[in-house]
Structure 1
Amino acid sequence: MDALAPLIAAALMAGTPLMLAALGLLVNEKSGVINLGSEGMMLVAAALGFAVAVESGSTWVGFAAGALAGAIMAAGFAWLVVWLSANQIACGLALSIFGVGVSASIGLPYVGATLKAASWAIPGLSEIPFLGRALFQQHPLVYTAIVLALALSWFLYRTRAGLILRAVGESPESAHALGYPVRRIRLAALLFGGACCGLAGAFMSLVYTPMWVENMVAGRGWIALALTPFATWRPMRVLVGAYLFGGITILTFHMQALGVPIASQLLSMLPYLATILVLVLISRNVDWIRINMPASLGRVFIPNR
Structure 2
Amino acid sequence: MTETQIIAIYGKGGIGKSFTLANLSYTMAEHGKRVLLIGCDPKSDTTSLLFGGRSCPTIIETSSRKKAAGEKVSIGDVCFKRDGVFAMELGGPEVGRGCGGRGIIHGFELLEKLGFHEWGFDYVLLDFLGDVVCGGFGLPIARDMCQKVIVVGSNDLQSLYVANNVCSAVDYFAKLGGNVGVAGLVINKDDGTGEAQAFADAVGIPVLAAIPANEDIRRKSANYEIVGSIGSPWEPMFAALAKEVDLAPPRRPRPLTQDGLLALFKGEAVGRGVTLLPATMEDMGGLAAAAARPSLEVVYEGV
TM > 0.5:
no
Q: Larger relative CO (CA 8 A, sep 6+): 1 or 2? A: 1
Which structure features the higher share of helix residues?
Answer: 1
What's the TM-score once normalised by structure 2's chain length? 0.29
What's the TM-score once normalised by structure 1's chain length? 0.28
